[in-house]
Homo-oligomer: A and B are copies of this chain.
């Protein structure tokens, strides 16, 4: 039996062994509005200069600075206002000496003008013929109050590199530069089986000796949070032949296959044996951690197969540590690992840790410090702790418990940043 030969592998080595089989998925074109949260598979470049023309930052009058060089309070100058240009419009002709154009914020500076006198410093009126005029009492410099073409970004500049996650600000850039479609990495297709004769589906009534299948729903939700595409393939009885059949026939259809259950030590220790019969290489079947020590991961022709524990907490932890980074890499994320931070432990955790422990916890911010609290240690927390979990508190093996105020490491599960190393 496989379990007789199990040697617990330290967590970092287990992660490294899985990540040897990381691969990037394909690329697809997505409409700008369907690209949120995906990863760019191409650079976003400035397809035109910004601003694309000399632009007025204010409401005022555009004119030629040379026309103003002798002006002062004692020697005001009067300009003929030939037209008004609003944002989105252009002046109808080039400005001539002695002329000004009333210009609105964001509008293009007319040909022949090279500065803008703000509305507040100008006096408006009419000349003898009733034509609008403007009087100015100071000199203007060339390019004063003009946002010059290309002054913010030159055409061709790479603004957001391939491998970046698309957030609302990136979507604004895509729109600015006319990317109505964009190349993004595909989502991995993940197939999920739950194994266990004791399992009932969510909509089945309770039966003696049975429990409802919660891991399949949880894993689907975790996959959704990771940004992957998930298909639930159903539950399997603890029977070698039917499990083997189901797993081997699904293998071709998915980028990654996850099963829950069927990995604990005992007579029904199915998954490791199924992996062997498939000809898959078992990367490990025991990890030096709690919970999740019986997590099994295998590799078959470059595809990673996860045999997660049937215990909900162990299943949850196994997914986030070993599956999340593979899926992030597949989706093109250059920072595939969950962000890990130094944090202050908010309450005592006095359990001894012979192995590295991933305590489900809750993140708080207190006066600039990151503080983490174990997600409830009372009775019903066994059931509810995952509902209140947004971090793992990492407690090293070989310790006799931790005290409130100790510095610990925390793995952030809902942070979008990620990091490049485990």
B367–A208 contact, CB under 8 A?
A: no
A328 at interface (Cβ–Cβ under 8 A)? no
- Using A169-B385, A178-B202 as known contacts, say yes or no to A415 and B414 having CB atoms under 8 A apart: yes
How many A residues touch B, CB cutoff 8 Å?
106
Please measure, in the bound complex, the distance between the C-alpha atom of A386 and the C-alpha atom of B44, giving whole angstroms. 14
Please measure, in the bound complex, the distance between the C-alpha atom of A104 and the C-alpha atom of B264, giving whole angstroms. 10
Measured CB to CB, the closest approach of chain B to A385, in angstroms, equals 7
A403 at interface (Cβ–Cβ under 8 A)? no
Q: CB within 8 A of A203: which of B180, B222, B382?
A: B180
- Using A106-B198, A106-B310 as known contacts, say yes or no to A225 and B342 having CB atoms under 8 A apart: no
- Using A152-B380, A370-B365, A387-B160 as known contacts, say yes or no to A210 and B88 having CB atoms under 8 A apart: yes
A169–B386 contact, CB under 8 A?
A: yes
A33–B211 contact, CB under 8 A?
A: no
| Binary B-proximity of A87-107 (CB < 8 A = 1, otherwise 0) | 111100000000000001111
Please measure, in the bound complex, the distance between the C-alpha atom of A239 and the C-alpha atom of B89, giving whole angstroms. 13
Measured CB to CB, the closest approach of chain B to A213, in angstroms, equals 6
A170–B387 contact, CB under 8 A?
A: yes
With a CB–CB cut-off of 8 A, which chain B residues contact A174?
202, 217
A175 at interface (Cβ–Cβ under 8 A)? yes
With a CB–CB cut-off of 8 A, which chain B residues contact A52?
206, 211
Please measure, in the bound complex, the distance between the C-alpha atom of A48 and the C-alpha atom of B384, giving whole angstroms. 14
Measured CB to CB, the closest approach of chain B to A404, in angstroms, equals 14
Q: Which residue of B lies closest to A387 (CB)?
A: B169
Measured CB to CB, the closest approach of chain B to A207, in angstroms, equals 9
A327 at interface (Cβ–Cβ under 8 A)? no
Please measure, in the bound complex, the distance between the C-alpha atom of A382 and the C-alpha atom of B176, giving whole angstroms. 13
Q: Which residue of B lies closest to A379 (CB)?
A: B152
With a CB–CB cut-off of 8 A, which chain B residues contact A204?
178
Q: Which residue of B lies closest to A219 (CB)?
A: B168
Interface residues of A in 196-253 (CB under 8 A from B): 196-199, 202-206, 208-222, 224-225, 237-238
| Binary B-proximity of A301-317 (CB < 8 A = 1, otherwise 0) | 00000000010100010
Interface residues of A in 347-399 (CB under 8 A from B): 360, 363, 365, 367-370, 379-380, 382-390
The 5 closest A-B pairs by CB, nearest first: A88-B198, A169-B386, A88-B197, A168-B221, A172-B218
| New contact pairs (11) apart from A152-B383, A168-B225, CB-CB < 8 Å | A33-B217, A53-B209, A88-B197, A88-B209, A152-B380, A160-B384, A168-B224, A175-B217, A176-B212, A176-B383, A368-B370
- Using CB atoms and an 8 Å cutoff, list the residues of chain A in contact with chain B: 32-33, 36, 46, 48, 50-53, 59, 84, 86-90, 104-108, 151-153, 157, 159-160, 164, 167-180, 196-199, 202-206, 208-222, 224-225, 237-238, 264-268, 310, 312, 316, 339, 341-344, 360, 363, 365, 367-370, 379-380, 382-390, 407, 414-417
